[in-house]
């Protein structure tokens, strides 16, 4: 392997820049050329590929987003699109890839390896933390910090007006951000897609807290929850508790932005170096992750298929803390 291509794909996540930088730096260390592929697989198809030098990665570690940009490419899902992408990589002499993204992006890397034999190491870059094969994904910690900071502010107004707030956090089909943000912000309840709580149980909890003279109530709702988003649940509760002053806040995309936390910078840096070293050691079609604070390579096939389950212990703790 002499030339590596690096790309970010799918939803952006804080720490992606730190991961790219680490890939480029490790590439230099091992005398490799590193090419930036812009806008994920779209750039691979459009030949938006440029060699990265040390200037390209100056002062990016601390920046949110991804300077390589990210995109979703429908064309890459077709064999014809992937053929064009392969020809473009070959025209630059790129013989291996580091793909930073979520399960869709890693699926693309896996298919590409199977079809064209281009070795790839994936890095888990998503705020959702929904990838098997790593305890934490790049961007998750920052997103939780951002959510908690926002919820702290919401609590000030909730307390001043004795309001009940339903705050919706991101996470797609996974409740990881909701659980962390909920524990970290003393939520009255946490509603996640993995564990449906009947509205009656939530009402009981709220009434109990009212008796206990709690000054504010914040319920964290994960988007995509089986019982509906924050607005839907708030509507149901309003019908049963009409005297409550209920408000809904959807945190939305602000959770994706901002400078990466120290944890994400370090995680991304470690994984970026691991990706390059993994490729040089012949570890192909794998995702580099962190388990019990050790770098672990998991076959991409497992990372995208196997389910990462929520931590029951965290849920139990959240339950104790909110009653
Ligand atoms: P996030 O978790 O943040 O949404 P993601 O990587 O899962 O990130 P997707 O939109 O699912 O985001 O995938 C990103 C890109 O990966 C797609 O636009 C597409 O180019 C490629 N991709 C996804 N699924 C496939 C597939 N089955 N075959 C080929 N390429 C795919």
Global ipTM: 0.98
Cα(35) to ligand 1 centroid in Å equals 21
How far is it, in rounded angstroms, from Cα 23 to Cα 275?
Answer: 7
DSSP string, 29-64: HTT-EEEEETTHHHHHHTT-EEE--TTTTTT-TT-S
- Nearest ligand 1 atom, CA 128: 2
pTM: 0.96
Annotated binding residue at 23? yes
pLDDT in tens, 271-320: 999 999 999 999 999 999 999 999 999 999 999 999 999 999 999 999 89
Burial 7-18 (b: 16+ CB within 10 A, else e): bbbbbbbbbbbb
- Nearest ligand 1 atom, CA 127: 3
Residue 128 catalytic? yes
Least confident of 93-97, 267-271, 312-316: 312-316
pLDDT in tens, 199-229: 999 999 999 888 888 888 999 999 976 668 9
Q: Is the Cβ–Cβ distance between 195 and 153 less than 8 Å?
A: no
Strands (E), the chain: 3-8, 33-37, 49-51, 96-101, 120-124, 164-169, 189-191, 217-222, 246-250, 286-291, 294-299
Pocket of ligand 1 contains residue 73 by CB under 6 Å: yes
Pocket of ligand 1 contains residue 124 by CB under 6 Å: no
Which pLDDT band, with edges at 50, 70 and 90, does 323 fall under?
A: confident
């Amino acid at each position: 392997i002499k030339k590596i291509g690096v790309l970010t794909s799918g939803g952006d996540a804080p720490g992606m820049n730190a991961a790219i930088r680490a890939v480029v730096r490790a590439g230099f260390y091992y005398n490799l050329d590193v090419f930036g592929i812009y806008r994920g697989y779209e750039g691979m198809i459009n030949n938006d590929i440029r060699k990265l030098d040390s200037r390209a990665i100056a002062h990016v570690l601390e920046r949110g987003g991804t300077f390589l940009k990210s995109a979703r490419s429908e064309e890459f899902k077709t064999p014809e699109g992937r053929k064009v992408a392969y020809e473009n990589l070959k025209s630059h002499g790129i013989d291996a890839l580091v793909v930073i993204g979520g399960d869709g992006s890693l699926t693309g890397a896996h298919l590409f390896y199977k079809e064209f034999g281009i070795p790839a190491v994936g890095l888990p870059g998503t705020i959702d933390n929904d990838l098997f094969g790593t305890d934490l994904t790049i961007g998750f910690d920052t997103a939780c910090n951002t959510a908690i900071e926002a919820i702290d502010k919401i609590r000030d107004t909730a307390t001043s007006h004795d309001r009940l707030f339903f705050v919706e956090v991101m996470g797609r089909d996974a409740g990881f951000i909701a659980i962390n943000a909920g524990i970290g912000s003393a939520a009255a309840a946490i509603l996640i897609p993995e564990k449906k709580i009947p509205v009656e149980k939530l009402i009981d909890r709220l009434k109990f807290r009212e008796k206990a003279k709690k000054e504010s109530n914040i319920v964290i709702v994960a988007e995509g929850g089986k019982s509906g988003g924050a607005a839907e649940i708030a509507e149901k509760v309003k019908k049963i508790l009409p005297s409550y002053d209920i408000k809904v806040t959807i945190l939305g995309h602000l959770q994706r932005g901002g400078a990466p936390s120290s944890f994400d910078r370090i995680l991304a840096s470690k994984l970026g170096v691991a990706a390059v070293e993994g490729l040089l050691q012949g570890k192909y079609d794998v995702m580099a992750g962190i388990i019990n604070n050790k770098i672990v390579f998991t076959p991409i096939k497992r990372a995208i298929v196997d389910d990462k389950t929520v931590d029951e212990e965290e849920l139990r703790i959240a339950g104790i803390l909110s009653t």
